[in-house]
Amino acid sequence: MRTKKFNLYTALLGLILAFTACQPEDYSMSDILTKDQLNYSITQNPDDPNMIILESLTPNVTPLWQTPMGRTTALEDTVKLPFSGDYKFVYGVESPGGYVQADTFKLTLTTMNLNYVNDPLWEMLSGGVGNSKTWLLDLDENGVSKYFGGPLYFYGTENGWLAGGDAGCYGADCWNWNPDWPGNSWLMGQGDYGTMTFDLIGGANVSADHLMISSRGSEQGTYFLDADAKTLSMTDAAPLHDEGRDGQVVNWGALRIMSLTENTMQLAALRDEALSGEGPCLLVYNYISQEYADSWVPEVTEDPEPTLPDGWQEDISQTVNTNIVWKLSESNPLDWANLDGSMMNGWQAPEDYPDWLGTPDTDVYGNFSMTMNSADNSVVFVTPDGTETAGTYSIDEKGIYSFDVTVPSFTLIGWASFAADANNQLRILQIEKDPAGNVTGMWVGAISSDKPEYMAYHLVPGAGGDGGEEPQGTEVAFDNSKLVIGDLESNGNLRLEIFNEYGSTVSDPGLDKSEIAFNNSINVTFTLSGVTLNEGAAGSYNTSMYYADSDWNPNGNGDVITVNGDGTYTVSYAPGTAAEGVVVFVIDVAGMGADISDMEAVTATIDKIELY
């Protein structure tokens, strides 16, 4: 005999209705069966009286058995009852003439066979023979999941028992998404979802109190655990789940056991594509035992904090010796930061910013400044519209600036604004320094009131006021006899090759590559002479520096300037991150090479290379 997994009555009723819908609407009286015509047998195995053998002997019908262990439509099936007691069986059939049910068959068992429930999984689920065990969905009324990342995971349709197979994979459709609830609270509402209790007290009984699904309320039923197949059948009761997905599953009683331990359980129901409007998958609900929940104590962890370099207080003090005017970076004025001060996105240039935020525009925020004086701890904010706000500040040992005036707020990019946090504070998250140790920038952050993150602002020192000074760069020596110029790539551009690992300067460069290291920017001033343009030439040309450091991070083009012919010009590149070493370091005057009448007459010099 084979053991059949039992289905919910609702699914069987649907099968009956579907079967009936395919029949003619008019039946002859000879098609309608009576109770006397039902033929079946319910017998006990002579070697094991607790093994009940069911056999449907009525021809051309679909049987519907109601047993103490659930329902089945098998022609032949076996029900194993571990406990003594009085039990009821009902045999019914669906025939062309309709549904007919026999009288209830009563069976008294005087023996027990606890071998049926001696698998460890039965004990972990129910507490063992004579006991009960209560389970909770792993999400409480405070939105806390005590063991899993959240109350609901998603798996492929051919995933199963996670400790078996290929880490729980039993076919081609294997995948999983295990979302954390705090970051995906839209999945299901916060609240008390009730309790679910399994017992082995005189039978395999289950009750579920669905506090979040009023249409279900309190349910009482039976269950059967197939320890070999790792499946759980529930009759007349459904596992705790969310109301939003209550109608997405055909049979909440046909469950796969994904994992089961003394304290935790994962049960999977199949999401139906027609009911949900989404592809089929396993909805895996995560449970913890009542005992585990009652004894759970939140782990005490300290939030990470930014780590500032040794001597940062002196660095800041030196930088703000009298006045320093802090400006927002033109390249990357805004980001979001983790609690440890690391940037979440790492945007380096305006083109890196996503469409959902917008592109930094200095016409919007460029006139902002924050002037700080370390002598008297005074501060003056100037917002982009010219409004001034003056006050004082203090800074503590963690790098948190506190202000005695309200820090002004203004639009920075798209919908994002510059503002202090709810305590009118800004915290130093990172400090940037050049090779000489001078501070060239810093990230300050406003802690979010509802998320573990900062909105971070990138400040760079600008021109000082009241005795302040322009930041000084470090000059790198260059031998102009080794500068290579011309239309070097035959693309119509005039190129000044300072160094190129793929060019002629690789073997004999005009600078010491080891001296090239900067945190903020690099400027090059150069002079062109002997430029004669062809008749009809454009006359003005976009010009920029291309720079790549030793590991190509950072690399890119700097600011674009206009070159008209002979003259002295300065190009800059500010990658927004530290650079060390050099692979490519060139200046390109786009299109000028094709317009020069005599390239051999053109000369150039590199007048100054400055690092910041």
Tell the CATH topology of 118-295: Lipocalin (2.40.128)
More confident residue, 608 or 96: 608
- 135-164 pLDDT, tens digit per residue, is 999 999 999 999 999 999 999 999 999 999
Please give the pLDDT value at position 435: 63
Give domain 9-116's CATH number out of 3.40.50.1110, 3.20.20.370, 2.60.40.10, 1.10.238.10. 2.60.40.10
Task: Determine which of 68-77, 206-215, 234-243, 382-391 has the lowest per-residue pLDDT on average.
Answer: 68-77
Please give the pLDDT value at position 391: 95
Please give the pLDDT value at position 299: 83
What mean pLDDT is predicted for residues 334-361? 94
Give the CA distances from residue 382 to residues 35, 356, 367, 371, 530, in Å, rounded to whole numbers and listed in that order: 93, 28, 7, 8, 46
Q: Which two tokens stand for residue 235?
A: 């009759």
Please give the pLDDT value at position 376: 85
According to DSSP, the residues that pair with 528 across neighbouring strands are 567, 604
Q: Is the pLDDT of residue 527 over 90?
A: yes
Q: Is the pLDDT of residue 524 over 50?
A: yes
Burial 454-488 (b: 16+ CB within 10 A, else e): bbbbbbbbbebeeebeebebbebebeeebbbbbeb
Q: Which two tokens stand for residue 338?
A: 């983790």
Mean pLDDT of the chain: 89
Please give the pLDDT value at position 202: 84
Q: Where are the beta strands (DSSP E) in 448-540?
A: 454-461, 474-476, 484-486, 494-500, 517-518, 522-529
Long-range contacts of 553-558 (CB under 8 A, 24+ apart): 553/577, 554/348, 554/579, 555/583, 555/584, 556/348, 556/349, 558/522
Dist CA 56 CA 76 (whole Å) = 6
C-alpha closest to that of 325 among 274, 283, 382: 382
More confident residue, 323 or 169: 169
Q: Is the pLDDT of residue 464 over 50?
A: no
Q: Are 379 and 391 in contact (CB under 8 A)?
A: yes
Dist CA 180 CA 104 (whole Å) = 49
Q: For the residues of 103-156, what is the DSSP string, one character each?
A: PPEEEEE----GGGG-SHHHHHHH-STT-EEEEEES--TTS--SSSSSSEEEE-
Burial of 324 (0-12, 13-18, 19+ CB in 10 A): buried
Give domain 474-611's CATH number out of 2.50.20, 1.10.3470, 2.60.40, 2.60.120. 2.60.120
∠ CA(27), CA(29), CA(34), 5° rounding?
A: 115
Confidence of residue 97 (pLDDT cuts 50, 70, 90): confident
Single-letter amino acid code for the residue at 105: F
According to DSSP, the residues that pair with 481 across neighbouring strands are none
Please give the pLDDT value at position 14: 38
What mean pLDDT is predicted for residues 123-143? 96
- 530-542 pLDDT, tens digit per residue, is 999 999 999 999 9
Q: In sequence order, what are the residues at sequence separation of 6 or more whose Cβ sits closer than 8 angstroms to the Cβ of residue 568?
A: 525, 526, 527, 607
Could you tell me what percent of the chain has a pLDDT over 90?
A: 75
Quickly tell me which residue has 């969905």 as its tokens: 137
Q: Are 219 and 201 in contact (CB under 8 A)?
A: no
Confidence of residue 420 (pLDDT cuts 50, 70, 90): very high
Confidence of residue 317 (pLDDT cuts 50, 70, 90): low
Q: Is the pLDDT of residue 465 over 70?
A: no
Q: Is the pLDDT of residue 26 over 70?
A: no
What mean pLDDT is predicted for residues 32-44? 93
3-state secondary structure of 459: strand
Q: In sequence order, what are the residues at sequence separation of 6 or more whose Cβ sits closer than 8 angstroms to the Cβ of residue 297?
A: none
CB atoms within 10 A of CB 204: 27
Please give the pLDDT value at position 203: 84
